[in-house]
Chains A and B, each alone.
Chain A
Amino acid sequence: MSSQDIPEENLPAEHAGQPGAVSVADEKDPFADPGLPPHEHRIQDIDEQAAKRSERTVALLFTLSMLATVGFIAAFVAIPHDRSIFVFPIGHVSALNFALGLTLGAALFCIGAGAVHWARTLMSDAEIADERHPIEASPEVREKVHADFKQGAKESVLGRRKLIRNTMFGALTLVPLSGVVLLRDLGPLPESKLRHTLWKNGTLLVNMNTNEPLRPSDVAVGSLTFAKPEGLEEHDEEFQTEIAKAALMIVRIQPDNIKDRRELEWSHEGIVAYSKICTHVGCPISLYEQQTHHVLCPCHQSTFDLSDGARVIFGPAGHALPQLRIGVSDEGYLQALGDFAEPVGPAFWERG
């Protein structure tokens, strides 16, 4: 639709008619208002044929959008979710995903493209200048508003009937309290929930992989094992809540290499059990390097030294990882000798 398409006589003159007054800069007024440039017409404004073409284009785009939506629904109904097709250059892709994305994308794009074409070619494009006005109201208007307010106050008898006035103020003051009281449902406070886990004296350490209790001989030096408290099963309703606090990683370090005295006391022949929950914001943390005994948190790179009481050696974590004191039961299985000494996971308001 270039300008070549339209008949010569329909084109506007090169600089036809100057709209609005334009002053020319001279000695008296060196910064004269140049005014707006002359309005230029679009092909569609002059040539009804071109306008018709534009209308048809916009209608076509909207119709395509409708068809794409119908296609979306048809694809959703007809294509099985496990069919895979090859699409260049994406490669193998689920046919359903591809069809849904393509049709929904086309439906939205065609609405947008139609609207843009409509606005650019057919909606009025006349430039309109809106003059600025002072914000202040005129003195007469202000006078009248003051008078009206005074009259209203007098007619409402608010000044004379003090009982009404005071009770009204009381009612208006109390109403927001309902909203304040509802905030109570943000609670109750967690009480001691964050301070206790399922571990207690005598709880066996159960291997997450085999679901069997661990023996000290199972845990080799340099190995990494994850454990959960005995009795907690994956299908339990509370599993996620409880494992989020009780998750445990078990490593074995040569007792000579353990620098922290309490860590050595709480270990069993170099087997140490630490909380798997980062003390920064609670990410599961188990990127264990068996030569350096460092554990790295993947979220914010907090690094803990498992050979030195899980001390923080890098990153934003504020506390060492809590250690679980372990021993061996009468049957020769690893067992906890109590709960963690401090709350696991990130700090909280009342942690102290």
Chain B
Amino acid sequence: MKKLSARRRHPLAAVVVLLFALAATGGLYAAFAPAGKAQADETAQSLTIEEGKRLYSVGCASCHGTGGQGSSDGPSLVGVGAAAVDFQVGTGRMPAATSQGAQVPKKKNIYTQAEIDQLAAYIASLGAGPEVPTKAQYGPEGADIAKGGDLFRTNCAQCHNFTGKGGALTKGKFAPNLEGVDPKHIYEAMQTGPQNMPSFPDTTLSEKNKKDIIAYLDAVNSSDTENPGGLSLGGLGPVSEGLFAWIFGLGALVAVAVWVAARTAKAKRS
């Protein structure tokens, strides 16, 4: 005790005492304030929204307005939901280079998933809308592929072709190819109806239905899909198949006919 007392005038003594005091306060706070946890979560959530708002004002506000109210260059984002943001930004469609042109094409996504989540949280805070689906909702477990094919042909095939290869619409618009698209994005597109695609909300196309459709697309389009016909020629149906037959089938017949006729059967001194 005497030893400690002897050092009380040491130049670093004040620092040591301060450290002890801080540690004690922190420890006491941790011990007596567990009830504040929920509040801390909310703080984290509002931090995410704040961060999202910051990203929004840099990347999106010029077209969609400073508060997501929309402008002549872009629609209002109030009530579109987190799923719409996750789809549009996650597939690189947003931010769009221009609001002109037939439709905004898919391009390289420049945001990290964390940034997209922050943007989505901000937009979701403007008005309730569909949430980002979980893996359990779009994963292949428990899906009925045959039923999915049925549903796909009823609801989707008219624009996206019978195996999701895409197709043309009016005035330069088109339904994109679904091959290799992230199942999460397919789910979100059905739920939110991006651009000119109509939406298929859970009330008319149930969660299970959506799961089945995604499983069907995976079954007909993945790298280990077995195609009994061999060369699929783009899976576009009779147009590409007919073109192939005309060019290569008839071409081969013409070549054989020319080859037969070009060789004389006569015996000649050479």
CB atoms of A290 and B199 under 8 A apart: yes
Per a CB cutoff under 8 Å, which of A44, A98, A226, A285 touches B230? A98
CB atoms of A223 and B226 under 8 A apart: no
B253 to chain A minimum Cβ distance, whole angstroms, is: 10
B155 at the interface (CB under 8 A from A): yes
A256 to chain B minimum Cβ distance, whole angstroms, is: 15
Per a CB cutoff under 8 Å, which of B158, B200, B226 touches A92? B226
Per a CB cutoff under 8 Å, which of B159, B196, B227 touches A291? B196
Number of interchain pairs (Cβ within 8 Å): 122
CB atoms of A222 and B204 under 8 A apart: no
A23 at the interface (CB under 8 A from B): no
Of B23-31, B105-113, B167-175, the segment with at least 4 beta carbons within 8 Å of chain A is B167-175
Q: Bound complex: CA of A44 vs CA of B198, how far in Å?
A: 74
Residues of A within 8 A of B159 (CB): 287
Residues of A within 8 A of B197 (CB): 290
Residues of A within 8 A of B266 (CB): 40-42
CB atoms of B230 and A97 under 8 A apart: yes
B129 to chain A minimum Cβ distance, whole angstroms, is: 11
Residues of B within 8 A of A210 (CB): 204-206, 209
* A220-B158 in contact given A42-B266, A120-B265, A294-B170 (Cβ < 8 Å): no
Of A83-91, A134-142, A322-330, the segment with at least 4 beta carbons within 8 Å of chain B is A83-91
A49 to chain B minimum Cβ distance, whole angstroms, is: 13
Per a CB cutoff under 8 Å, which of A12, A125, A220 touches B201? A220
Given contacts A3-B270, A217-B203, 8 further A-B contacts (CB under 8 A): A43-B267, A92-B230, A93-B229, A116-B260, A209-B206, A223-B198, A285-B158, A298-B167
Could you tell me which residues of chain B, from 76 to 129, have a CB within 8 Å of some CB in chain A? none
Could you tell me which residues of chain B, from 192 to 231, have a CB within 8 Å of some CB in chain A? 193, 195-201, 203-206, 209, 226-231
* A42-B267 in contact given A91-B227, A93-B228, A223-B198 (Cβ < 8 Å): yes
Closest 6 CB pairs of A and B: A224-B198, A93-B230, A94-B228, A218-B203, A90-B230, A289-B196
- Looking at chain B's contact residues, the main secondary structure is loop
Residues of A within 8 A of B7 (CB): none
Could you tell me which residues of chain B, from 169 to 184, have a CB within 8 Å of some CB in chain A? 169-170, 173, 175
Residues of A within 8 A of B203 (CB): 215, 217-220
CB atoms of A209 and B230 under 8 A apart: no
CB atoms of B228 and A298 under 8 A apart: no
Residues of B within 8 A of A222 (CB): 193, 198-199
A321 to chain B minimum Cβ distance, whole angstroms, is: 15
CB nearest to A301 among chain B residues: B170
- Looking at chain A's contact residues, the main secondary structure is mixed
Q: Bound complex: CA of A291 vs CA of B195, how far in Å?
A: 7
CB atoms of A284 and B158 under 8 A apart: yes
Q: What 0/1 readout, one digit per residue, does chain A (42-59) give for beta carbons within 8 Å of chain B? A: 111110000000000000
CB nearest to B206 among chain A residues: A210
CB atoms of A84 and B226 under 8 A apart: yes
Q: Which of the listed residues B199, B200, B267 has the most CB atoms from chain A within 10 Å of its own CB?
A: B267
CB nearest to B196 among chain A residues: A289
Chain A: number of interface residues, binned into ranges? 35 or more
Per a CB cutoff under 8 Å, which of B169, B195, B228 touches A84? B228
Q: Which residues of chain A have a CB within 8 Å of any CB of chain B? A: 2-4, 6, 11-12, 14, 40-46, 84, 87, 90-94, 97-98, 116, 120-121, 125, 207-210, 214-215, 217-220, 222-226, 251, 284-292, 294, 296, 298, 301, 303, 314
Interface size on B, residues (CB 8 A): 36
CB atoms of B205 and A209 under 8 A apart: yes
* A208-B154 in contact given A84-B226, A289-B170, A291-B195 (Cβ < 8 Å): yes
CB atoms of B229 and A97 under 8 A apart: yes
Q: Bound complex: CA of A222 vs CA of B205, how far in Å?
A: 14
* A290-B196 in contact given A14-B269, A217-B203 (Cβ < 8 Å): yes
Q: Bound complex: CA of A146 vs CA of B119, how far in Å?
A: 103
Per a CB cutoff under 8 Å, which of A44, A209, A286 touches B158? A286
CB atoms of A209 and B227 under 8 A apart: no
Residues of B within 8 A of A42 (CB): 265-267
A222 to chain B minimum Cβ distance, whole angstroms, is: 5
B268 at the interface (CB under 8 A from A): yes
Q: Which of the listed residues B169, B196, B204, B270 has the most CB atoms from chain A within 10 Å of its own CB?
A: B204
CB atoms of A314 and B170 under 8 A apart: yes
B102 to chain A minimum Cβ distance, whole angstroms, is: 11
B156 to chain A minimum Cβ distance, whole angstroms, is: 10
CB nearest to B175 among chain A residues: A287
Q: Bound complex: CA of A16 vs CA of B187, how far in Å?
A: 85
CB atoms of B173 and A289 under 8 A apart: yes
Per a CB cutoff under 8 Å, which of A98, A217, A290 touches B193? A290
B60 at the interface (CB under 8 A from A): no
Residues of B within 8 A of A314 (CB): 170
A260 to chain B minimum Cβ distance, whole angstroms, is: 20
CB nearest to B190 among chain A residues: A223
CB nearest to B268 among chain A residues: A3
CB atoms of A223 and B196 under 8 A apart: no
User: What would be 22 A-B contacts, judged by CB atoms less than 8 Å apart?
Assistant: A3-B270, A41-B267, A42-B265, A91-B230, A92-B230, A93-B229, A94-B229, A125-B265, A208-B154, A209-B206, A215-B203, A220-B203, A222-B193, A222-B198, A223-B193, A223-B199, A226-B155, A284-B158, A287-B175, A288-B198, A294-B170, A296-B169
